[in-house]
Chain A
Amino acid sequence: MEDMGVHLQGVQKSFGPMKVIRGVDMEIRRGEFAVFVGPSGCGKSTLLRMVAGLEDTTDGKIHIGEREVTDEDPADRGVAMVFQSYALYPHLSVFENMAFSLRLAKRPKAEVTKKVQEAAAILQLTDHLEKKPSQLSGGQRQRVAIGRAIVRAPEVFLFDEPLSNLDAELRVQMRLELARLHKALGATMIYVTHDQVEAMTLADKIFVLQGGYVQQSGAPLDLYDDPSNRFVAGFIGSPSMNFFAATVTARTAGGITAQLDGQGDQSFDVALENPPAEGAKITIGIRPEHLSLTDGPGLRVAVDVAEELGGMSYQHGTLEGGEPVIFQQSGARHDMGGTTQTVTPEGGRIFVFDEEDKRIR
């Protein structure tokens, strides 16, 4: 228990009759970088605000470190939050913005100056301390907001989609800086995002949220390699996984043979420990990067749009039955637009889901 950072037990949240969080358990160890990821409306921001104390908890318990904080005021929880809008005080200088919490606590001047200067040095804001937030660029404002959190030396840092107001280039740069900052401070951080790339690159542990539940949690690559349901499989990985309706035609020694619906002769052997019965309706999931061109039999894809990224290209197309397919090619200038290609999945990289979208392993 001593390395406990944040611990949620059966946490629920309702707004009137609307249940937003329907029972969440999670353990985040001290010093861990946890990321809540999910589509908009999944409750991830609400959950973060409940940890912060900005939203009441309808049911369940929240622990930060050893302390139960479910009914504590935000200020007493030992958390600092970086808002999506940065929430900088427009009438105060950068220095005063960062010093705000210390001023409220009436700390001695020398201590305030020292702490703010230290935080400013970490974030390269030393030259901007006298400026007002309106005189700063988006990235600098973001850093001031982070600086305000650092000055408080909280047990837990909370980030609510902090990079979503930055342009793409700056986002990548700030992402790196956040990762370095986490290494340097070693504090527990919880980070909310809808961007699965941010989640994959930053997290020690990802919590995929949807419909008020944690769908799956774990290390980024564990989620990628071993998703426990169709939602997680589709959400983690970019571009997202291809899904095809299929039927089990036979049970083999180590798994099943599945035939894609509407594709006639196309069938795959998939190794499974708990194979479903013959004739069962299933969904097959294959990632774009696990589909490769073949001269032999395979899926015939009519490519209509090719996204050429230079080192990589994504071929978008449809099967004969109209199901959309994406497959990935390394390198560029394949000139596949308008052609029909035959692709086949790598062995061992086919995921199977049952009719409730649960993974069959």
Chain B
Amino acid sequence: MLTPKRRRRERRTAFLMIAPFLSIFIAFFLYPTFSVIALSFTDAPLIGKGEWIGLGNYAKLLNDRLFYTSLWNNFYFVLLTVIPTTVIALLIALAVSKLKGRMQALVLTLFFLPFVLPVSVVTMIWAWMLDFQFGILQPVIAAITGKPVPVFMNPYWVMPMIAVVTIWWTNGFNVLLLIAGLRNIPADLYEAAALDGATAWQRFRRVTWPLLWPVIALVLTLQLILQLKIFDQVYLLSNGGPFNRSYVVLMQIYREAFQLNHGGYASAIAMVLFLFIVVLSVLQFQLLRMGGRK
């Protein structure tokens, strides 16, 4: 049992230790969050006071066609990225885990390298590679479709191409998570399975998959949250076009807030996106966990 005096002293130390984090968290996260919530009920510009208009912004949002377009594009983008990137990362992780020692480290580094690049460099690289006139990937596209395609100006190509860029950029991180998960599966389970007569597919299906499932669920959830927040790649590659076919929710928030000076309305959109992300990710994680337990 701790004496009251000692317990008080420990509490003071504990508080002192978390104080730096707590103060920054309050100043730069909690306070702005509550400000945005408050702002979303007003018609305030970005800077300065506004009138309280209750749910006016939210009512306006319900009739905003661009909002529905952006929301749909967000979901389309999630569809194009979350599961594909997880599947690709899993395949790469399984292949890399077959390699040994330094070779494994080298290959892993190569796959991780794009993740280190800043988004502007990534989009620059791909904008050049896919450039309509000079892009080295245009012959490939021409070979498949018969003619070169200005991908970021084509309403059908723009979202899938941004998805490709995004997967290329962020995949290394997922590979890393899955490799860590694979390393956690004891080798003797595979040996026991081999002695029991399991084929390579059966070993994957009955040992690897169920034991890796928690990590796969984590990757899927992290990806869902990350990809719902898509902004940078769209802003830099297509700026939402053509015909708003790559216009996403964060882009609309950005435009309303910083270009049209509609602070209140932008806050309302942000709140809706925030709720979407929370509900979807919690729902998904719970569903995935249930799937794993079965």
Contacts and interface: CB of A to CB of B under 8 A. Distances in A.
A90 B192 contact: no
Nearest to A54: B191
Q: Which has the most chain A C-beta neighbours within 10 Å: B186, B192, B206, B211?
A: B192
B13 interface: no
B210 A75 contact: no
B202 interface: yes
Contacts, number: 50
A259 B192 CA distance: 56
B189 A52 contact: no
B188, B196, B206, B210, most chain A CB atoms within 10 A: B196
Contact of A52 (B193, B195, B198): B195
B207 interface: yes
A100 B188 contact: no
Interface string A104-142: 110000000000000000000000000000000000000
A99 B176 CA distance: 34
Interface in A60-92: 73-75, 79-81, 83, 85, 87, 89-91
A342 interface: no
A85 B210 CA distance: 20
Shortest 10 CB-CB distances between A and B: which pairs? A75-B197, A101-B196, A87-B192, A87-B188, A91-B210, A74-B195, A83-B188, A74-B194, A104-B197, A54-B191
A80 B194 CA distance: 10
15 contacts: A54-B191, A74-B191, A74-B195, A80-B195, A81-B191, A83-B188, A85-B188, A87-B192, A89-B189, A89-B206, A91-B210, A101-B196, A104-B197, A104-B206, A152-B196
A80 B191 CA distance: 11
A144 to B, nearest CB: 12
Interface in B196-233: 196-198, 202, 206-207, 210-211
A100 B207 CA distance: 11
B48 to A, nearest CB: 58
Nearest to A101: B196
Choose among A74, A90, A152 the residue with the greatest number of B CB atoms under 10 Å from its CB: A74
Nearest to B209: A91
A52 B197 CA distance: 12
A81 B210 contact: no
